[in-house]
Chains A and B, each alone.
Chain A
Amino acid sequence: MLVIYKKELKSYFNGMMGYVFIAFALAVIGVYTVAVSFLQSYPNFEYVLDSVRFLFVLIIPVLTMRTMAEEKRQRTDQLLYSSPVSTISIITGKFLAALTVFAVPLLISCAYPVLLGRFGIVNYKTAYAGILGFLLMGGAAIAIGIFLSALAESQMVSAVVSFACLLGCYLMPSLTNMLSSSALTSALGFAALFLLVAWMTYNTTRNVPLAAGVGVVGIGAMAALYMLKPAWLEGTFNTALNSLAVFSRYDTFVYGMFDLRSVVYFVTIIALFIFFTVQTVEKRRWA
C-alpha cells in the first residue's frame, strides 16, 4: 500500500497536477478568507470553508480522474494486478495519495485562524473542527471520484462524469426542495427507481423474466403501499434523495457543531466507495 501511495504522490508532483491543485485551492481559500474574514469581519473560519465548498466540487475530479482510468488506458494495471499486492491496498494507496494532496492546502490554511486570532476573538475549536470536517468531506468526494474513474475508459470521461455526479450531490438539497413531499411523488419516484434497477438487471444478466420480475414486484409494491399505507410514503423519497447530498452534511460543521453523525456519514461514504472500486476492479478481472 505504501508503495502505491508513494508512487501516486510522486506522479501528482511529477507533473503540474499537484501544484496546480494546491495553488488553486490556496488561492480560493485565500480570496474567501479576505472576503469573509477581513472585509465582512467574521471571525469564523468555518464560514470561509462553507463558501469555498462549491469550488471543490469543480476541482476534485481533477485530482481523481487519472487514478484508475489512466492505468487502464496505459495497460499498467496489469503490472499491479500481477504483483503480490491485494486490490484493496492498491485502491487505498491511491485514495490516501489523493487525500494527501487535498490535505496540503488545508494544512496551510490551518495557520489562518491563528492569524485571525491576532485581530480578534476566534473560536479555534469550531475553526479546526471545520477544517477536519472539510478534509472528511473531501475524502468522501475523492472516494466517489476514484470509483467513477475505475468505471470510465478515459480520464476525460472520468472527469466529466465525476463532475456531473459531484454537482448532482451538491445540488441535491435544492433539487429535492422542488419535489413535493406527497405520497404520490414518493411512489412514482421509487417506481421509477425500480424501473431503472430492472433495466440495469436486464443489461447485466440479459435475463428478461428476472428483470421484468424485479420491475413488476418493485412497482407493484409501491402501488400497494400507496393504496394501503400512503402515510409511510410521505416525504420518504425526498429523504432518500437527501441522503445523497454529500456536501450538505458539512452544514453542521458550519453551524459550529462537531456532529458525530456527519463524521460517521463521511467515513461510511469513503469506505463504501473504496469497497465499490475494489469490486469494480475485481469484476473487470472476472468479466
Chain B
Amino acid sequence: MVEIKNLTKLYGSHRAVDDLTITVEEGQIYGFLGPNGAGKSTTMNIMTGCLAATSGSVRINGYDILTQPKEAKKCIGYLPEQPPLYMDMTPREYLTFACGLKGIRGAKVREEIEKVAKMTQIEDHLDRLIKHLSKGYKQRVGIAQAVLGDPKLIILDEPTVGLDPKQITEIRELIRELGRGHTVILSSHILSEISSVCDKIMILRKGRLVACDTPEGLSRAMLGETTLSLTVDPCGKKLSSLSQITGVTGFDQKPSASDSGCVDLTITYSPEKDLRRDVSQAVSGLGGVILAMREVRLSLEDVFLELTDPGETGDANGAEAAPSGAETSENA
C-alpha cells in the first residue's frame, strides 16, 4: 500500500526525517509512535504530498507521490495535526467542498456526506457554523473529511489530541471500525492509544525508525531476559551460590534500602524456563527467608521509553535496563 524508501527531510541542517524506510501493508492499522519532534508529522506531510522530501521516494498504491501526485492523492484521506477547517462554513458546506476536491460529483455527494456524518456522529451539527462547534466536533468534522470518498489509505495525525476521555474512546472505536475496510496510519505520542488500536506499531526517534512490530511482538522482543527481583533476609548465610542454579544468567545483590539487614537480589534468566520455584527452594535451602519476590515484565511503556530515550545507549536487553523498567511499571 505504502512504500517509503530512504526518505530524508532536512530543515536547514536539522534532520527531521533521516533515511526512513517503511512498508505498509493493506488492511491494517499502523501507529506512528514517537516523542514530540520525532518526525511523525513531517513523514505524514511528505506521504500526502503537502511537503516534498529532500531525498527518497514515497509510493502510494504503486503511484509515486512526486511524479503521479493526482493518482496517489486520490487514494489518500488525510487529517493533518490541525484539522484544516474553514471556520465560516457549516460542516455540510465544508464536506461538499471536500467532495469537490476529491472529485466526487452529483448525487453521490449527498450520499457520501450522510455516510461520513453518521460514521463520525456529526449529523446533528451539519448545519451549524464550524467556528461555533466544540473542539471535539471540529476534530470529527476533520476526520469526516478524511474518510470522505472511501479512500484506500487514511492518514490521521494525532486524531485524539484535545478530546475528552469519552470522545477519545469513541474516536478509537471509529478508527477500529475504519481499520476493517481501509489501511489506516495514525500517529500519537500517547502509547496506550496506539497499543489499544493498532495492529502494528512503528516507533520513530529523531526521524529514524527504531522498531516496527505488533504490540505483543514488541514487548516480547524487548524482553530478552526475565528479571526476578527479590528481597531476602539471609539470616547470616551467604547467598552468592544462588548464581549456580541452572539457567541463571545474571546475579546481583545489594543491601536493601527498606528492610535493614536484608538484601535485594536481582536474578536474570532466559524466559523459556520459569525459575521462580527453583530460586525459592534454593533460598530456603540456604536458610534464608524470602520477604518479597516479583517477576519484572517490561510493559510497552518501558519499551517505548527505552527506544526513544536518547539518554539510553540503546542496549535494551542489558541488565541495567531492567531495574529502570521495574520502577516505571510500578509507577504505572
Contacts and interface: CB of A to CB of B under 8 A. Distances in A.
B74 A285 contact: no
B70 interface: yes
Interface residues of B, number: 29
B84 A77 contact: yes
B52 A286 contact: yes
A74 B86 contact: yes
Contacts of A86: 69-70
A82 B78 CA distance: 7
A84 B74 contact: yes
A178 interface: no
A14 B94 CA distance: 13
Contacts of B100: 2-3, 6-7
A84 B69 contact: yes
B70 to A, nearest CB: 5
A85 interface: yes
Interface in B298-332: none
A124 to B, nearest CB: 40
Contacts of B93: 10
A174 interface: no
Contact of A82 (B73, B82, B103): B73
A83 B151 CA distance: 11
Contact of A75 (B71, B84, B145): B84
A187 to B, nearest CB: 38
A7 B69 CA distance: 23
A81 interface: yes
A3 B86 contact: no
Main SS of the interface on chain A?
helix
B103 A76 contact: no
Interface in A54-105: 74-86
A74 B93 CA distance: 17
A77 B89 CA distance: 15
A77 B78 CA distance: 12
A68 to B, nearest CB: 14
Contacts of A84: 69-71, 73-74, 101-103
B78 A74 contact: no
A7 to B, nearest CB: 5
Interface stretch (B22-30, B43-51, B287-295): B43-51
A152 B259 CA distance: 67
Contacts of A120: none
A180 interface: no
A286 to B, nearest CB: 5
Contacts of B88: 11, 14-15
Given A74-B87, A75-B82, A82 B98 contact: no
B76 interface: yes
A3 B97 contact: yes
Contacts of A2: 100
Interface in B142-180: 145
A47 B103 CA distance: 46
Among A6, A78, A285, which residue has the most Cβ atoms of chain B within 10 A?
A78
Given A84-B102, A285-B50, 14 more contacts: A6-B100, A11-B86, A15-B88, A74-B84, A74-B86, A76-B85, A76-B86, A77-B84, A78-B45, A79-B98, A82-B78, A85-B101, A86-B70, A285-B52
Interface of A: 2-3, 6-7, 10-11, 14-15, 74-86, 285-286
14 contacts: A3-B100, A14-B88, A14-B89, A74-B85, A74-B86, A75-B80, A75-B82, A76-B86, A82-B49, A82-B80, A84-B71, A84-B102, A86-B69, A285-B51
Closest 3 CB pairs of A and B: A3-B100, A79-B84, A83-B101
Interface of B: 45, 48-52, 69-71, 73-74, 76, 78, 80, 82, 84-89, 93, 97-98, 100-103, 145
